[in-house]
Amino acid sequence: MGFLLPPGISRRYAALGASTLVVIWLWVAFGRVYRLPEHISWNVNSNRPQYGQSSPVPDAFDLAPINSESIKSVCGDTRWNESLVFTCDESVGGIGNIRNSILNCVRYAISAGAGLVVPSIVLRNSSDISYIRTGVKTDMSFMFDTQHFIESLRLSCPSMPIYNSIPSIPNYEKAHNHIPLIPESIVGYVPKTGLSQPEEWRSTFYNWLLQYQDTPDTTRPTIVELGRSYLQYPIYSDGEGFALSFGGILKIRSDARRLATKTLTNLAETYSFDADLSAPFLPNSFFGVHLRTEKDAAEGWPAPDWVYSRYDTQSKLYLEQAPRSSPAVIYVASGDLNEVAKFASDAAARNMSVTTKFDHLSGQDLEDLTNLAWDQQALVDFLVMMKGADFAGIAHSSFAWNIALKRHQYAQKKDHLDGPQMLSDELSQMYGIPRGYPEYAACLWP
Ligand SMILES: *[C@@H]1O[C@H](CO)[C@@H](O)[C@H](O)[C@H]1NC(C)=O
Ligand SMILES: *[C@@H]1O[C@H](CO)[C@@H](O)[C@H](O)[C@H]1NC(C)=O
Ligand SMILES: *[C@@H]1O[C@H](CO)[C@@H](O)[C@H](O)[C@H]1NC(C)=O
């Protein structure tokens, strides 16, 4: 993980005129030659766009807050309870895990008619990335645009009270003791495809709550701390409209969106493809692959049990898939540049070239990227991958499933779960035995 810098390093270095040092440092630290210097902005005060003739879009992922009729309708049918508030502070892992956990919290809050405190995120240990349950918490802006979240809920679920913090809950000083709850733990058996009767969760919940209320007093708020909820809520239970729009309440934070846009703009210029970034994906562009062989995955999914966690399996499958979209280049997402280097040499043997976000950002942008935490750097790939002509991932990665399921909305092939791979359509392939992990397609919000 040689490219990670301690988070405290100031982002203003280059602005102080240290560009030259940064460039030399990069050269040495990465042990490879970056395309210099035409993409380096030597004059940091210059307002001229760095790339291309036409002025590039600064942020292709800056979507407006969502105003969803299907969410409004579910929220409108809910009986809201002023005295009940949920917190959502136990979400762990990478973007795929955290995103789904937060969305589940919101969905359960709607079920109960509860208010919600703006969620927080548990930070991964930066020196041991396989250590995710650190108990160290930060606010949701670590990954997401908090204002967008609040505004989308205000528009699409106007009756739900949202609080910035626990102490800002009305009458907080009179609150009962906080009650921890893993939302699925009160319903007994949960099939792999998620709760079999999600519409009954509300009454089960209120019955469960009774044990904590000898003398119900609704002038005192009841605060329930939701535990981590991952792949157990059946997302299609409120209809497809709800399932497909709900994830829109979470928008990736702005610096990652801007870096993803720059990466795409530069990628398009370097490999001469048309980059209309307003399109959901770019035909005739690049093939995005998610090389999921980092330390945390290797430990979580031991290769002897699961052939798909092996580098050899992934690289062979991805390189076999590559020709189907005649890509200009293969764009690799991986948190481990040594693995990328291996893949680049295997690809070169087949006359295919490989690139990463590090090849397409320079100067202050590259510095901004390297100043981000590991899980934040992955947000850039998460966005870039959405726009590729084709995509490949491995079926034990929620990161890859999230991308493939989002892309599937634009695919012609609708029976994407019927093989030949675990998810197959013309825009993506998730490798694994069909129906092997039904929980992803059933319970991961696209
Ligand atoms: C509202 O929630 C409180 C707990 O905060 C509970 O005691 C009460 O029964 C709930 N009211 C309704 C109408 O569900
Ligand atoms: C992170 O992991 C390292 C190595 O295992 C350990 O020494 C350190 O205490 C951990 N830090 C936190 C905040 O958990
Ligand atoms: C790669 O390209 C070279 C030069 O164009 C050619 O000789 C070689 O056969 C190609 N290899 C493959 C695997 O296509």
What does the pLDDT look like over 395-436, one tens digit per residue? 889 999 999 999 999 999 999 999 999 999 999 999 999 998
What global pTM score does this model have?
0.85
Q: 333 CA distance to ligand 3 centroid (A)?
A: 26
Q: 129 CA distance to ligand 2 centroid (A)?
A: 10
- What does the pLDDT read at residue 268? 97
- Are the C-beta atoms of residues 78 and 114 closer than 8 Å to each other? no
CB-based burial label for 309 (10 Å; 0-12, 13-18, 19+): buried
Q: Which CATH architecture has domain 69-249?
A: 3-Layer(aba) Sandwich (3.40)
* Separation of alpha carbons 139 and 118, rounded Å: 8
Return the structure tokens found at 250: 């979470």
Best residue for ligand 2 mutational test, from 1, 123, 126, 128 (most atoms within 8 Å of Cβ): 128
Ligand 3 atom 10 nearest Cα: 351
Same fold across 69-249 and 254-443: yes
Q: 15 CA distance to ligand 2 centroid (A)?
A: 33
DSSP state of 273: -
* Separation of alpha carbons 287 and 343, rounded Å: 14
Q: What is the helix (H) or strand (E) element at residue 97, kind and residue range?
A: helix 95-112
Atom of ligand 2 nearest to the CA of 135: 14
Which residue blocks in 115-165 are alpha helix, DSSP H?
146-156
Instruction: Report, as ranges of residue numbers, the positions in the chain whose pLDDT lies below 70.
Output: 1-56, 216, 298, 300-305
Domain ranges of the chain: 69-249, 254-443
Best residue for ligand 1 mutational test, from 84, 159, 169, 176 (most atoms within 8 Å of Cβ): 84
222 lines ligand 1 (CB under 6 A): yes
DSSP secondary structure string for all residues of 188-241: S---TT--S-GGGHHHHHHHHHHTT-SS--TTS-EEEEE----S-S-GGGG-HH
DSSP state of 310: S
Q: 174 CA distance to ligand 1 centroid (A)?
A: 16
- What does the pLDDT read at residue 21? 36
Per-residue pLDDT of 26-82, as tens digits, reads: 333 333 333 333 333 333 333 333 444 445 679 999 999 999 999 999 999 999 999
* Separation of alpha carbons 180 and 48, rounded Å: 53
Return the structure tokens found at 153: 């809920």
> What is 254-443's CATH topology?
Rossmann fold (3.40.50)
